[in-house]
Amino acid sequence: MAWPMSGFALTPGNLADIGMAIPLLDAVPPPRRVIADKAYDADDLLSWLRARHIQAVIPANASRTIPYPLDRKTYARRNLIERRFGRLENWRRIATRYDRLAQNYLAALARVAIASAWAE
């Protein structure tokens, strides 16, 4: 199975991840769909995706008065990514981010990702 190209960015812990969504999506070939959780239900991201003909599979936030339709079958595939992150967070060094320098944290993350993929 060929994995699609992906982007990666390390953000400060006090900033929301959605701030990097558009720059990361802009850095990779356009996908057919983007699967994300409720935190990514923002009008600017949804309009950016719509302008590029990318299907947004993002559940509506509770603050929306009129929720838009959600492809639940496709959204269920998000579980695969969540389980992968769960495996990485089993390593205490990654979950608590002991390393202060970004390069050290990224190196530890790479080592843990390789070790957890090898263990499968």
How far is 100 from 25, CA to CA, in rounded Å?
27
Q: Is the pLDDT of residue 74 over 70?
A: yes
The pLDDT score that the predictor gives to residue 4 is 55
Structure confidence at residue 48 as a pLDDT band (50, 70, 90): very high
Q: Is the pLDDT of residue 112 over 70?
A: yes
How far is 24 from 62, CA to CA, in rounded Å?
26
Domain ranges of the chain: 12-71, 77-120
Predicted TM-score of the model (pTM): 0.76
Place of tokens 């769909």: 33
**In sequence order, what DSSP letters do the residues of the chain get, joined into one string?**
-PPPP-------TTS-GGGGHHHHHHTSPPPSEEE--GGG--HHHHHHHHHTT-EEE-PPPTT-SSPPP--HHHHTTHHHHHHHHHHHTTSHHHHHT--SSHHHHHHHHHHHHHHHHHT-
